[in-house]
Amino acid sequence: MPPLKRALIIGDGAAGTIIANKLRLLTDRDELEIVVIGNSRIHYFKPDGIQIPLSLKPYKKSVKNPVFLFNAGIQYIRDEVIRIDINQRFVSVKAGKSYDYDYLIIATGNRLTPEDVPGYEGEAKHFYDLQPALGLKEDLTRFNGGDIVVGQASIPIQCPPAPYEFTFLLDQYLRNRGIRDKTHIHYIYPLNRVFTMSTVAKFIDELFEEKGIMTHTLFNVDNIDTKNKRVNSIEGESVNYDMLILVPPHRGQKVITESGLADDLGYIDVDRHKLTYAGNDDVFAIGDATNLPVSKAGAAAHFQSGYLAHHIASDIGGAAYEEEYNGECACTTVTGKDNAITLFFSYDKPPRANFNSKSDFLLKWTSADTYFSGMVRGIM
Amino acid sequence: MAQEIKPTKIIDARGSYCPGPLMELIKNYKQAKTGDILSLYSSDSGTKTDAPAWIKKSGNELLGVYDRDGYFEIVLKKTRQ
């Protein structure tokens, strides 16, 4: 019998959990030991961040204890990785131990860096983590009209459609409360359109116009003037606000930079098709931790995990896996009351958005259930 | 004969997809001094329209857009304080 190999996975978010579970389903315990290291207190289904602040969903349905999300036969170590050494082939954790590996999979995700925007902290709101989303819910309850500015401070961010999704739901929330006519919604965006993908941007822009949402494109946030309640752009434009809902900048995790594996923003530069790092055929990165030219989204991590799990399982079995990852991703995004669109795309096939669909809306509204019952378990 | 423009900095974003090249330009612009000339190399066709639009909006000077061998070169002079 060939010696037992070890797949060491760093990260217990969507990417780390899905790849661990998929690998376990595709390999036997006597051929591959799967070890996951992570220190998340909760596993939060982040797409629900657009619903929670608007009282559309109780947050408890969006969180699980990460311990219970791993399939049997996976060793889960709750600790923080402090060093990754791909030359000596080991990973060190805060508790003092080190772990070697045959396959290393880095799935460490993002971190939010509001400190990158002067004036942000204590002033701007956001919905990109559970506590800020709950805080925003309280703030919105007290809001009775004025100027709301929604947008993102910079690119890249997780789940690129989320700012426009939130804006559509906010529009409906204000209508339901009878204060939409007393509120101006401003949408700011860093590019010269309202979304990265131009084929989708036109569709979203028309819907914004229909709903009276004002857009400010080529708006890269420089700073927030808290005294005058004004957000200023690098391009020299300013927008006044009574409430500022701004997705903070993102960076990769510090341990990636400190281990010498990161680009300028802290992300890992991996092969676009093989997901390998710097030509090492036993070091991979998936999900938001990479600088792949695909959306930073659980949906992308899901597709990457499918490819990588099959690749590793084939390698253990001594067979070549001929497939490659080609940037596949699919996501359903909300565009208003009872409406959503589903986008399918890859590196060479841009998405198309032509019509709204109620069935897509139902797909989106139940996605946490689908995620926790099937997707995160590796069976989809 | 046209005088050759010597950039203060070359930003090589070839191989990066939209919006990567524009974000690279903006990042370097923030660190540049007034009067600096930045030259952006991009193989993404969208940059050919996105970068000049941003340069115009930001109140800086577009010195040129050039078709090179397999990529575009967009040259900016930082004129804003």
Helices (H), B1-81: 20-31, 47-57
Residues A193 and A158 in one domain: yes
Residues A260 and A195 in one domain: no
What ipTM goes with this model? 0.86
Distance CA A17, CA A301 (A): 10
In a domain? residue A332: no
Sort residue A96 into left (φ over 0), alpha (ψ -120 to 50) or beta: left
In a domain? residue A240: yes
Residues A130 and A236 in one domain: yes
User: Would you state the structure tokens that stand for residue A210, as one six-digit string?
Assistant: 């229909």
Q: Among the three residues A220, A249, A278, which one is the final residue of a domain in this structure?
A: A249
The whole-angstrom distance between B5's CA and the closest CA on chain A is 24
Surface-to-core class of residue A8, CB atoms within 10 Å of its CB (0-12 exposed, 13-18 middle, 19+ buried): buried
In a domain? residue A378: no
CA A295 distance to own-chain centroid: 8
Q: By three-state DSSP, how is residue B69 classified?
A: coil
Residue span of the structural domain in which A308 resides:
5-109+253-325
Q: By three-state DSSP, how is residue A267 classified?
A: coil
Best of B11, B14, B17, B43 to mutate (most A CBs within 10 Å, chain A): B17
Give the H/E segment covering residue A44. strand A43-44
Whole-prediction pTM: 0.94
User: Would you state the structure tokens that stand for residue A230, as one six-digit string?
Assistant: 């004004």
Residues A241 and A129 in one domain: yes
Phi, psi of A14, rounded to the nearest 5 degrees: -60, -50
- pLDDT bracket for residue A1 (50, 70, 90): low
User: What CATH number does residue A179 fall under?
Assistant: 3.50.50.60
Hunting for tokens 């423009």 — which residue is that? B5
Residues A148 and A81 in one domain: no
Residues A274 and A164 in one domain: no
In a domain? residue A371: no
Residues A242 and A262 in one domain: no
- pLDDT bracket for residue B2 (50, 70, 90): low
Contact B22/A191, CB-based, under 8 Å?
Answer: yes
In a domain? residue A257: yes
From first CA to last CA, the distance across chain A in angstroms is: 31
Sort residue A15 into left (φ over 0), alpha (ψ -120 to 50) or beta: alpha
Residues A234 and A130 in one domain: yes
Residues A44 and A161 in one domain: no
Structural domain tally of chain A?
2
The reply to whether B18 belongs to the active site is yes
Contact B23/A190, CB-based, under 8 Å?
Answer: yes
Please work out, in degrees rounded to the nearest 5, the angle formed at the alpha carbon of residue A21 by the alpha carbons of A58 and A377. Answer: 35
Residues of A in contact with B14 (CB under 8 A): none
Distance CA A68, CA A43 (A): 10
Residues of A in contact with B52 (CB under 8 A): none
Packing angle between helix A162-176 and helix A198-210, nearest 10 degrees?
10
Nearest to A44 by CA among A22, A20, A64: A64
Q: State the average pLDDT for chain A.
A: 96
Higher pLDDT, B73 or A345: B73
Residues A227 and A317 in one domain: no
* Residue from the list B23, B30, B54 with its beta carbon closest to the beta carbon of A218: B54
Higher pLDDT, A58 or B1: A58
Dump pLDDT digits (tens) for A88-145.
Answer: 999 999 999 999 999 999 999 999 999 999 999 999 999 999 999 999 999 999 999 9
Dump pLDDT digits (tens) for A261-312.
Answer: 999 899 999 999 999 999 999 999 999 999 998 899 999 999 999 999 999 9
Packing angle between helix B20-31 and helix B47-57, nearest 10 degrees?
30
| Cβ contact B26:A234 at 8 Å | yes
Domains with residue ranges and CATH for chain B: 9-77 (3.30.110.40)
Residues A284 and A245 in one domain: no
In a domain? residue A380: no
Residues A82 and A130 in one domain: no
In a domain? residue A333: no
Residues of A in contact with B46 (CB under 8 A): 198
Q: Among the three residues A296, A325, A354, which one is the final residue of a domain in this structure?
A: A325
Nearest to A37 by CA among A15, A16, A58, A22: A16
How many residues in chain A? 380
Residues of A in contact with B62 (CB under 8 A): none
Give the up-direction half-sphere exposure of residue B7: CA atoms within 13 A in the CB hemisphere. Answer: 18
Q: Among the three residues A325, A355, A374, which one is the final residue of a domain in this structure?
A: A325
* Residue from the list A198, A236, A264 with its beta carbon closest to the beta carbon of B59: A236
Write b or e for each residue in B54-70: b if 16 or more Cβ atoms lie within 10 A of its Cβ, otherwise e: bbebbebeebebeeeee
In a domain? residue A198: yes
Contact B53/A235, CB-based, under 8 Å?
Answer: no
